[in-house]
Structure 1
Amino acid sequence: MASHSSSNAGATVAPPRAPDLSTDELQRYSRHLTLPEFGREGQEKLKAASVLLVGAGGLGSPAATYLAAAGVGKIGLVDFDRVEASNLQRQILYSTSDVGRPKLEAARERLTDLNPHVEIETHDVRLTSDNALDIIDPYDVVADGTDNFPTRYLVNDACVMTGTPNVYASIFRFEGQVSVFATEDGPCYRCLYEEPPPPGLVPSCAEGGVLGILPGFIGTLQATEVIKLITGIGNPLIGRLLMVDALEMNFRTLNVQKNDDCPVCSDNPTQTELIDYEAFCGIPSSDSSQNGTDDVSQIPEISVQDLKQRRDDGDAPFLLDVRKPHEADIADIGADQLIPLDELEDRLDEMDAEPGSEVVVHCRSGGRSAKATEFLRKKGFDAKNLAGGTLAWSDEVDDSVAKY
C-alpha cells in the first residue's frame, strides 16, 4: 500500500525514498533542476511517485503526456475504449493511424516513446466498486478525468477510503473545473456535490459538445496540481474549486469547505464501503428484461437491423429523432421528424404521428430516446426505442453515417 499524507498548505504525498537520477535524466530534466523551488529533490520525488489516471480520453491525454514528460516514475492508466475518429479533435495521445486500436495500447506506445524512464501500467477494465480499491490503493495520487457521475463518485469514495489524494477535473462545452479532493484535512467531491444531478439533466460531451482545446487546457492544470502534490511546491487547490470559462477567458475560484456531516470523509462517516454508483446516480440497470412495461429500464426496443429490414420490406414505422438539430446535421438516418427531447412535451401536438400509432424513437446512443419513448407510451403511442441509436446504425447498418 502506498503511503499518503497531506495538509492544506504545501500538501505533499509521501512516496518511497527518492532514487538517484541517471546522467540521461539529469540532462532530460535540466529545466526542472534549475528551478530553485524544484531542483534535484523535486525531480527525485517525481521519479519515486506513482500516479493513476482514471480515463485516457480528453483530460487523461494531456495529463498523461505532461506527467510522463515531467518524469513521474509510474503512471497507471484505466480505460477500456478503443480510439475513434471523433476522439482526435481533443485526445492528443492518439493519431489517425491509431483509430480502432485499444486506447491503452496506443497510449503506452506514445508515452514510452516520449519518456522511456517512466513505467506505464495499464488497467484495461471498467472501474467498478469491485475493483476500485485494489486498483487505486497502490498509487500515491489519482487524477480523475472521467466524464460520468457514477465514476466520479466512485473515484472520490475510493480515494477517501484509501487515503489517496484525488486531483479532479471536468469539462463541458467551453467550461472546466479543477480541484484537489480527499486529502487528509481537505474536502472531498461529496462535500462539494453531495448528491448527483438527476439523470439526463447534464448532457454528456458527446451530446453537448466540447471545444477541442479545452481538455488540453484543463488537463494540463490537472497535471500541474499532481506535480505540486508530489513535490510539495506551491499551494494546491485543496479547499478551492477553480472554474474556467474559455469563451470569456474568465477564471473564478470558489472556496469549498469540508462538510462535517459528509457521509464519506467526515470523522464519523455513515458510508464505509463502496456502493452501487449507478443506482446512487439514478441510472437504471441495463440488465433488466424488456417486458413492455413503462419502466425506463424495461421499455420496448427495436434493433437497428430490424428497423432496416422493415424499411426494406416497405413496413417502416414512424421514426422520431429527439436529438438537437446540430446533431442531425452530423448524422442522419432518415427520421420522419425531429423534436428535441427537452421540447417534446411542449411540442407533442406537432407530431406527425397519432396516438396509438407505432413510433420508433432514436438519438445518438439510446439514452435520450429511452426517456422519450417512456413519455410517448404514457401519452398513448405504441413507442419503441431504437437500441444504440445512430452509433449502432453506423456500426451495424451503414458505416457512412458519421459517429460523433
Structure 2
Amino acid sequence: MRPIVEPAPTASAARRRLGSRTSPLPGVGDEGIRRLAAARVLVIGAGGLGSPVVALLAGAGLARLTIVDPDVVDPSNLARQTLFTAADVGRPKARVAAERASAVDPETEAVAVVAAFTPDVVAGHDVVVDAADSVLVTRAASDACAAAGVPLVWGSALGSDGQVSVFWDAAPDGAAVDFHDLHPDPFDDDGSCALDGVVPALCGVVGSVMAGQVFTLVTGVGDPLLGRVVTVDARTWCTVESPLRRGPASRRPPALPTLPSEPVRRIAPAALEARLALRTQGRDAFVLVDVRTDAELEATGVVPGAVRPDAVPAGAEVVVYCARGPRADAWATANGDGRTVTVLDGGMTAWLAEARPTAERPGRG
C-alpha cells in the first residue's frame, strides 16, 4: 500500500540520528524518515495501550503527536502504564505523556488534550490511534475517522486477550473497513481492567503492534492490518489472524451522538454508601437510578433506594449505575443537561464486591 504521508523536504541532523537504526531497513531510507517527520498522529488514551504507543511514537521523529486522555495517573496504573512513575500520581496522563514525548524528541510538537475524546480533534491528523479500549469511544472515533477519510489503528486488551486491527473507510482498492464491520451490532462496553484485570505485558505487546501499524501506514513499508484482525492470547502467547471484510450497508448502524467534551463525574461505592446514609438522615438529596435490565435486577437486587429511570423528577440531581459503568455513562451523557449526574464507578459489580447491602426491587421514586 502507498504511504499515506508525503515526505518533508528535509530532515534535521537530529532526526537522522534518531532514525539511524530505522533508515537502513529495506524501503525506509531517508525518504521514510522524512515521511515520519511530516506525519501528524493522534493517540486517544494514554493508559495501558496508549503508554507503549506514545513511548514508541515519541522516538519515531513525528511532526506532531497529540495525546487525548481525561484521566489522572493512579497508583494502580503503574504496573502496566510504563510512561508513568510514582511521582506522576495525581497528574493528568495526557500532560505527562506529552512531556515524556518532548523529552525524547524536542522537535516533535507534543500536544496534550486533558479531556474526553470528541470527534473534532481528528481534524489535522494523518492517522488516529484508538488506545482508549472503550467501545463507546471506538465507535465515535471510527465514525469521525470515516468522515475525515483517515485510518484508525485500533487495539484492545482485557484479561488475557488482545486484538489489533486497522480501520479505514477511504482505503484504496476496495479494502475499506471500519469498526462497524467488526461489530455491526451495538453492544455494551461492560469490561474493564479495573474489574476483569489485564496481563500487564499484553498491553505492551498490543501497544507495540499498534505503533508498528502507524509506522507501516506512514512509510508504506510492510502491510497494514487492514482487513485483518490479530488476536493475542496471553495464556499461550499465540496469535490468530482473522479476515475482516466490509459488511452489508443495511446492517451499518447510525453514528452515535457526539461524546461529551468533559469526563463524566464518578463516585466510588464507599462514597455512595456514605451519601445514602446522609440522605436517610435528610442531610443529602439526590435520586439513585438503576438503568440495568429487569433480568439483571432480579439476579442481583438493587442498591437500596434506587429507582428506575422513568421515576426521576425533572431537574433532580442523579447518581446512576448499571452493571459496570458504560450504560450509566451513556445515560449520563444523554440526560445531563440541566442537572448534575454522577456515575457509580464500577457499577453494581463494584458495589457487590465488598458485600454491601442490596434491596430486592427498585423503589417508586
In structure 1, the partner of 2:21 is 31
Q: Contact (CA 8 Å) 1:55, 1:77: kept in 2 or not?
A: yes
In structure 2, the partner of 1:196 is 186
For 2:147 and 2:208, how far apart are their aligned partners in 1? 27
Change (3 A) 1:370 1:126: closer
For 1:80 and 1:347, how far apart are their aligned partners in 2? 32
In structure 2, the partner of 1:175 is 161
In structure 1, the partner of 2:74 is 84
Q: CA deviation at 1:150?
A: 1.3
Q: CA RMSD in A?
A: 3.5
In structure 1, the partner of 2:114 is 124
Q: CA deviation at 1:18?
A: 1.2
Rg: which structure is higher?
A: 1
For 1:77 and 1:238, how far apart are their aligned partners in 2? 23
For 2:346 and 2:150, how far apart are their aligned partners in 1? 37
For 2:224 and 2:30, how far apart are their aligned partners in 1? 21
Correspondence for 2:323 among 363, 368, 387: 368
Q: CA deviation at 1:249?
A: 1.2
Alignment of 1:196-235 (within 5 A): 196-197=186-187, 199=188, 202-235=190-223
Q: CA deviation at 1:260?
A: 4.3
Q: Secondary structure at the match of 1:32?
A: coil
Change (3 A) 1:104 1:346: closer
In structure 1, the partner of 2:147 is 161
Correspondence for 1:243 among 228, 231, 236: 231
Structure 1, residues 127-162: CA drift from partner, whole Å, max 9, x if none?
23xxx1x31021000001112211110000110111
Q: Contact (CA 8 Å) 1:151, 1:277: kept in 2 or not?
A: no
Change (3 A) 1:390 1:137: closer
Q: Contact (CA 8 Å) 1:11, 1:235: kept in 2 or not?
A: no
For 1:390 and 1:168, how far apart are their aligned partners in 2? 25
Q: CA deviation at 1:58?
A: 1.0
Structure 1 length as normaliser, TM-score?
Answer: 0.66
In structure 2, the partner of 1:135 is 121
Structure 1, residues 55-105: CA drift from partner, whole Å, max 9, x if none?
111111100110111212211111111111111111111110000011122
Structure 1, residues 176-234: CA drift from partner, whole Å, max 9, x if none?
1111101423211101111122x36x422211111111111100000001100000011
For 1:192 and 1:181, how far apart are their aligned partners in 2? 9
For 2:75 and 2:227, how far apart are their aligned partners in 1? 38
For 2:9 and 2:47, how far apart are their aligned partners in 1? 31
Change (3 A) 1:51 1:359: same
Change (3 A) 1:66 1:263: same
Amino acid at match of 1:56: A
For 2:41 and 2:85, how far apart are their aligned partners in 1? 24
For 1:123 and 1:360, how far apart are their aligned partners in 2? 38
Report how many residues are paired.
299
Q: Contact (CA 8 Å) 1:214, 1:246: kept in 2 or not?
A: yes
In structure 1, the partner of 2:336 is none
Runs (5+) with no aligned partner, structure 2: 266-270, 282-294, 307-319, 327-341, 348-365
Amino acid at match of 2:4: V
Q: CA deviation at 1:243?
A: 0.7
> Does residue 1:306 correspond to 2:275, yes or no?
yes
Correspondence for 2:257 among 249, 271, 276: 276
Structure 1, residues 330-385: CA drift from partner, whole Å, max 9, x if none?
xxxxxxxxxxxx9985688xx9xxxxxx9479xxx9533899xxxxxxxxxxxxxx
In structure 1, the partner of 2:177 is 187
Structure 2 length as normaliser, TM-score?
Answer: 0.72
